[in-house]
A and B are shown apart, each in its own frame.
Chain A
Amino acid sequence: MKNYETVIGLEVHVELATKTKIFCGCSTSFGGDPNTHTCPVCTGMPGSLPVLNKKVVDHAIAVGLAANCEINRSCRFDRKNYFYPDNPQDYQISQLYEPICQNGHVDIDVDGKRKSIRIHEIHMEEDAGKLIHDEAENMSLVDYNRAGVPLIEIVSEPDMRSAEEVIAYLQKLRTIIRYLGASDCKLQEGSMRADVNLSVREAGTEKLGTRTEMKNLNSFKAIARAISNERQRQIDIIEAGGRVIQETRRWDDTKEESFSMRSKEDAQDYRYFPDPDLPGIFISREWIDEIKASEPEFKDEKKRRYVSQYGIPEEDADIITDSKHMADIFEETARLCGQPKKAANWLMVDTIRILKELSKEPEDITFAPENLAKLIKLTEAGTINSSVAKEVFEKVFADNIDPEKYVKENGLAQENDESALREAVQKVIDDNPKSVADYRGGKEKAIGFLVGQTMKAMQGKANPGIVTGLLKELL
């Protein structure tokens, strides 16, 4: 068999984090009952008209700038015409002829090598509604709560060659967009969706093969599986002397195979034309400058600064800066408690462990930096010992409690008073003659058991250093 190269381009849809839909004043919030966030505009009622949400343009410009795109000074919306029940007007308002951003790139690092992935364009458009199947009726039900939620579509050039590159590219986009606060970019929840355009060609050849477009990829794992499967499917067709058909396919991750979405009734002819309901958009230099000025410090820059300013290891800085949210918590905590390394440690170890246990992401952290800073200060001051600190942190993570108040209310402060501890230590010595004998007989380890017994008697609140000192003294 010949050696084949996989050529991949991505169309990434990102739901923008606006309060309202792109063309009407309906809420974009999740979780409402079906069709409770709808109005004449987003249900395609006759006579209704779209009015553009300015915030959508702001976000699109910000993402474009961060992805090194040219911002088109004038752009407009076009209608993409196709019939489907999730599309209330039976056309989607999108941008084809004059998209807002073009000719950008982002850099990815794979296997220690840096590679630039070119971005063909970024355009603004509206999301579709949701269809669910109703078994009892053998019909489908339509919910337009998501219809009209603003999206940007980021279209790359076919510059990727492997699933690893694709995932690195998506992670890079996700980090940038989250840093901008333009979207939460969750693949599972659909706020970030990637359609994979893939073709294969003989290694060393220039001409692109016929590509297919793969939809319904809801995780990085699904993307990797779909890429490997589609690559093989196309190679098999070519090896058998066939020709790949340009089409859209739907990935079924449980069956681990894809299905053609083509049918006679779905001629792919969208009849795009400029939407007469929406005047053009002119983006002034000032507007661009304003957005540029409000850009956050992005990950790479932030990472370098953390290493030099706080002296934390590069790997730690890398993990903390993966999420702007976590990085913000880190810096604020460090500022409040003056202990950047401790702050980093709580985030790197305990926070990430709990997030993993709960299958959550750093974006989901809800505790205030103030409370982590207080916890660090309580530990440093010796007010609580490290095992109590871990217990308190669980509460900080879960309920954002105030550690000072919590420690006081639950009597968790460490007992540092030698005279108070002396009594407890003496009782442990009296109650455990065997261990005492062992220790005195030279078994140094026996002291550990006695420390433990004392801690137990003190409900974990004793200062373990003082307890050890007292035991040694009394024995």
Chain B
Amino acid sequence: MLLTNKTALELGKLIRAGEVSCVEAVSEFLDVIKEKEPEINAFITVCEEQELKKKALEVQKGIKTGELTSPLAGVPVAIKDNICTKDVRTTCASKILADFVPAYTATAVRRLEEAGAIVIGKTNMDEFAMGSTTETSFFGAVKNPHDITRVPGGSSGGSAAAVAACEVPAALGSDTGGSIRQPAAYCGVTGMKPTYGTVSRYGLIAYGSSLDQIGPIARDVADCAAILETISGKDKKDSTSLNRTDSDFTSALKTDVSDLKIGIPSEYFEEGIEADIKGNVLAAAESFRAMGARTEFFELGLTKYAVPAYYIIASAEASSNLSRFDGVKYGYRTKDYKDLHQMYKKTRSEGFGAEVKRRIMLGTFVLSSGYYDAYYMKALRTKALIKQSFDKAFEKYDIILGPAAPGPAPKLGSSLSDPLKMYLADIYTVSANLAGLPAVSLPCGKDSEGLPVGMMLTGNRFNDKAVIRAAYAYEQARD
């Protein structure tokens, strides 16, 4: 039986039914990884085979004794390399953390492991999750499994590519401005960023703390819901994590959307969007209508201000979050220095890549004396207005439908030369982070070149279930 094209839930079911052993599952995925990695480069670290098999046997025992009952028990998963895993190197795809081995495991990963999921490796990403292409990694670019001359998107490009290449059935990513949803769209897989606070950030190496959320990337909506259900929940180690009583996300896997009102921001389709994307996304809207949902174009407002507000806020927080990488406690330290300040400067200048330095500089500037009000505060006020415009939209609609990205996956090497242009492509995704909203990106067809096109469904804060339901219903109708 070919296991590597199964979804996580399908595989989990086979394992629990005793039709497949955990060791077999792990071995099959390791074989695919061995075969495809030289080309795709989705992983920074693949866990040691013997260790994995040992873990698989333990899980198998747990399933047998009835200790492990989760639908994810025995399922191999990959973890984005900005999420800490005890005793497994966690690099953020940066030279500065190239040899960093955490002393603890992130809460989200711990919850997956407690459910019996087996962490098979750590996925490649844009350095410190800063980028939209996974080309800024110190460990080399990731290739899009649909077309290896193209990027997989970013920053969770490794997680999305690994799922798309069947190297793993599901993975965790992190999303600060679209870093789960956009690569999921480029790689033709499904990715979800939940409401801010749904998943503990403890152990997620921070980029923009007020925007960062961990979420699943998988082959379908049901897998995403099952993983989210497993990793969510109040964590006493993360003050911003929510105590939600409605985290039974799999209960939202229903195909009835006749009560849903779906708003489509007309400005999303006006300029900058490629015709193939527009066509596929609007066709998806048509499918919703066919299923009985009400759809309507409306003016969301302030859309073009989301990207500059996002870059100011994310960079400001990043400039502070990344200060700790200073050569004192962990990570890279420069070889030659004559005093403390030179040690700091050389360590950081040699340890960080160009994009990270660019954002640290911008973030430092917008917080500096004399510019704080004009830029940082201005961005926070803009964020408040953007949140208000979504609040208003959600008075009328349950779901906002739009594209995940204005075009398909770009060619490798075509984006980094003009950062601003690259930033502008985040236009559809960053608002969900600014307003703390749940959003899922799922495939809705292919463009004329056969590249995957992703649609994005966004819900109101705490209404993750509406997003899951809409996505699931579309997926069932599509397949």
The smallest C-beta distance from A373 to any residue of chain B, in angstroms, reads: 46
Interface residue B238 (Cβ < 8 Å from any Cβ of A): yes
In the complex, are the beta carbons of A279 and B209 less than 8 A apart? no
Cα A51 to Cα B107 in complex, Å, equals 15
The smallest C-beta distance from B355 to any residue of chain A, in angstroms, reads: 18
In the complex, are the beta carbons of A81 and B324 less than 8 A apart? no
In the complex, are the beta carbons of A51 and B320 less than 8 A apart? no
In the complex, are the beta carbons of B239 and A90 less than 8 A apart? no
Interface residue A271 (Cβ < 8 Å from any Cβ of B): yes
B344 partner residues in chain A, CB cutoff 8 A: 83
In the complex, are the beta carbons of A279 and B323 less than 8 A apart? no
Interface residue B100 (Cβ < 8 Å from any Cβ of A): yes
Cα A328 to Cα B205 in complex, Å, equals 50
In the complex, are the beta carbons of A273 and B368 less than 8 A apart? no
B64 partner residues in chain A, CB cutoff 8 A: none
Interface residue B326 (Cβ < 8 Å from any Cβ of A): yes
In the complex, are the beta carbons of A46 and B100 less than 8 A apart? yes
In the complex, are the beta carbons of A83 and B102 less than 8 A apart? no
Cα A50 to Cα B330 in complex, Å, equals 19
| A271 and B204 in contact, given A49-B239, A85-B340, A277-B239 (Cβ under 8 angstroms) | no
In the complex, are the beta carbons of B320 and A79 less than 8 A apart? yes
In the complex, are the beta carbons of A81 and B103 less than 8 A apart? no
The contact string, 1 if C-beta is below 8 Å from chain A, for chain B 178-220, is 0000000000000000000000011111101110000000000
The smallest C-beta distance from A21 to any residue of chain B, in angstroms, reads: 14
The contact string, 1 if C-beta is below 8 Å from chain B, for chain A 244-274, is 0000000000000000000001000101110
| A83 and B320 in contact, given A46-B102, A46-B205, A273-B376 (Cβ under 8 angstroms) | no
State which of A48, A88, A269, A276 has its C-beta within 8 Å of the C-beta of B369. A269
The contact string, 1 if C-beta is below 8 Å from chain A, for chain B 237-261, is 1111000000000000000000000
The smallest C-beta distance from A223 to any residue of chain B, in angstroms, reads: 29
The smallest C-beta distance from B76 to any residue of chain A, in angstroms, reads: 23
State which of B210, B240, B323 has its C-beta within 8 Å of the C-beta of A89. B323
A271 partner residues in chain B, CB cutoff 8 A: 319-320, 364, 367-369, 372
In the complex, are the beta carbons of B103 and A45 less than 8 A apart? yes
Interface residue B97 (Cβ < 8 Å from any Cβ of A): yes
In the complex, are the beta carbons of A142 and B328 less than 8 A apart? yes
In the complex, are the beta carbons of B341 and A276 less than 8 A apart? no
In the complex, are the beta carbons of B239 and A46 less than 8 A apart? no
B284 partner residues in chain A, CB cutoff 8 A: none
State which of B204, B324, B340 has its C-beta within 8 Å of the C-beta of A44. B324
Interface residue B68 (Cβ < 8 Å from any Cβ of A): no
Residue of B nearest to A48 (CB): B202
State which of B236, B320, B368 has its C-beta within 8 Å of the C-beta of A91. B320
State which of A46, A79, A85, A265 has its C-beta within 8 Å of the C-beta of B328. A85
Name which of B90, B100, B238 has the most chain A CB atoms within 10 A of its CB. Answer: B238
State which of A45, A47, A50, A265 has its C-beta within 8 Å of the C-beta of B204. A47
A265 partner residues in chain B, CB cutoff 8 A: 341
In the complex, are the beta carbons of B329 and A47 less than 8 A apart? no
The smallest C-beta distance from B466 to any residue of chain A, in angstroms, reads: 25
In the complex, are the beta carbons of A43 and B329 less than 8 A apart? yes
In the complex, are the beta carbons of A83 and B103 less than 8 A apart? no
In the complex, are the beta carbons of A47 and B326 less than 8 A apart? no
Name which of A49, A79, A142 has the most chain B CB atoms within 10 A of its CB. Answer: A49
Interface residues of A in 1-55 (CB under 8 A from B): 40, 43-52
Interface residue A388 (Cβ < 8 Å from any Cβ of B): no
Interface residue A365 (Cβ < 8 Å from any Cβ of B): no
A407 partner residues in chain B, CB cutoff 8 A: none
Cα A265 to Cα B238 in complex, Å, equals 34
Interface residues of A in 86-120 (CB under 8 A from B): 88-91
The smallest C-beta distance from A141 to any residue of chain B, in angstroms, reads: 11
In the complex, are the beta carbons of B323 and A90 less than 8 A apart? yes
In the complex, are the beta carbons of B329 and A269 less than 8 A apart? no
In the complex, are the beta carbons of A49 and B237 less than 8 A apart? yes
Interface residues of A in 119-142 (CB under 8 A from B): 142
In the complex, are the beta carbons of B84 and A279 less than 8 A apart? no
B323 partner residues in chain A, CB cutoff 8 A: 81, 83, 89-91
Interface residue B106 (Cβ < 8 Å from any Cβ of A): yes
In the complex, are the beta carbons of A81 and B320 less than 8 A apart? yes
Residue of A nearest to B363 (CB): A271
B376 partner residues in chain A, CB cutoff 8 A: 273
Cα A52 to Cα B238 in complex, Å, equals 10
In the complex, are the beta carbons of A279 and B239 less than 8 A apart? yes
Cα A91 to Cα B368 in complex, Å, equals 14
The contact string, 1 if C-beta is below 8 Å from chain B, for chain A 354-386, is 000000000000000000000000000000000
In the complex, are the beta carbons of B329 and A51 less than 8 A apart? no
A222 partner residues in chain B, CB cutoff 8 A: none
In the complex, are the beta carbons of A276 and B317 less than 8 A apart? yes
In the complex, are the beta carbons of A46 and B97 less than 8 A apart? yes
Interface residue B316 (Cβ < 8 Å from any Cβ of A): yes
Interface residue B297 (Cβ < 8 Å from any Cβ of A): no
Interface residues of B in 23-64 (CB under 8 A from A): none
Interface residues of A in 268-299 (CB under 8 A from B): 269, 271-273, 276-279
State which of B102, B106, B239, B368 has its C-beta within 8 Å of the C-beta of A52. B239
Name which of A142, A269, A273, A279 has the most chain B CB atoms within 10 A of its CB. Answer: A273
| A44 and B103 in contact, given A85-B340, A269-B368 (Cβ under 8 angstroms) | no
Interface residue B104 (Cβ < 8 Å from any Cβ of A): yes
In the complex, are the beta carbons of A47 and B202 less than 8 A apart? yes
The smallest C-beta distance from A387 to any residue of chain B, in angstroms, reads: 60
The smallest C-beta distance from B55 to any residue of chain A, in angstroms, reads: 22
Cα A378 to Cα B208 in complex, Å, equals 70
Residue of A nearest to B339 (CB): A265
Name which of A52, A83, A142, A276 has the most chain B CB atoms within 10 A of its CB. Answer: A276
Cα A83 to Cα B205 in complex, Å, equals 19
In the complex, are the beta carbons of B203 and A44 less than 8 A apart? no
Cα A165 to Cα B319 in complex, Å, equals 42
The contact string, 1 if C-beta is below 8 Å from chain A, for chain B 315-346, is 01101100111101110000000001100100
| A47 and B203 in contact, given A90-B323, A273-B316 (Cβ under 8 angstroms) | yes
The smallest C-beta distance from B321 to any residue of chain A, in angstroms, reads: 9
The smallest C-beta distance from B446 to any residue of chain A, in angstroms, reads: 37
The smallest C-beta distance from B324 to any residue of chain A, in angstroms, reads: 5
In the complex, are the beta carbons of A45 and B364 less than 8 A apart? no
The smallest C-beta distance from A203 to any residue of chain B, in angstroms, reads: 34
Cα A33 to Cα B210 in complex, Å, equals 36
B100 partner residues in chain A, CB cutoff 8 A: 46
Cα A273 to Cα B376 in complex, Å, equals 9
Cα A52 to Cα B320 in complex, Å, equals 19
| A88 and B367 in contact, given A52-B239, A273-B372, A276-B317 (Cβ under 8 angstroms) | no
In the complex, are the beta carbons of B328 and A81 less than 8 A apart? no
Interface residues of A in 374-405 (CB under 8 A from B): none
B341 partner residues in chain A, CB cutoff 8 A: 83, 265
Cα A88 to Cα B210 in complex, Å, equals 21
In the complex, are the beta carbons of B330 and A45 less than 8 A apart? yes
| A276 and B209 in contact, given A44-B329, A83-B323, A83-B344 (Cβ under 8 angstroms) | yes
In the complex, are the beta carbons of B102 and A45 less than 8 A apart? yes
State which of A44, A47, A83, A278 has its C-beta within 8 Å of the C-beta of B84. A47
Residue of A nearest to B377 (CB): A273
Interface residues of A in 296-345 (CB under 8 A from B): none
A83 partner residues in chain B, CB cutoff 8 A: 323, 326, 341, 344
Question: Nearest 10 CB-CB pairs, A to B?
Answer: A90-B323, A271-B367, A276-B210, A276-B209, A265-B341, A46-B205, A47-B203, A47-B84, A44-B324, A269-B369
Residues on B close to A: CB < 8 A? 83-84, 90, 92, 97, 100, 102-104, 106, 201-206, 208-210, 236-240, 316-317, 319-320, 323-326, 328-330, 340-341, 344, 364, 367-369, 372, 376
23 residue pairs of the A-B complex, CB under 8 angstroms, read A43-B329, A45-B329, A46-B84, A46-B92, A46-B324, A46-B330, A47-B202, A49-B201, A51-B236, A79-B320, A81-B323, A85-B328, A88-B328, A91-B320, A271-B320, A271-B367, A272-B372, A273-B316, A273-B367, A276-B209, A276-B317, A278-B239, A279-B240
Besides A81-B367, A88-B329, 4 other A-B contacts (C-beta < 8 A): A46-B100, A49-B239, A51-B236, A279-B240
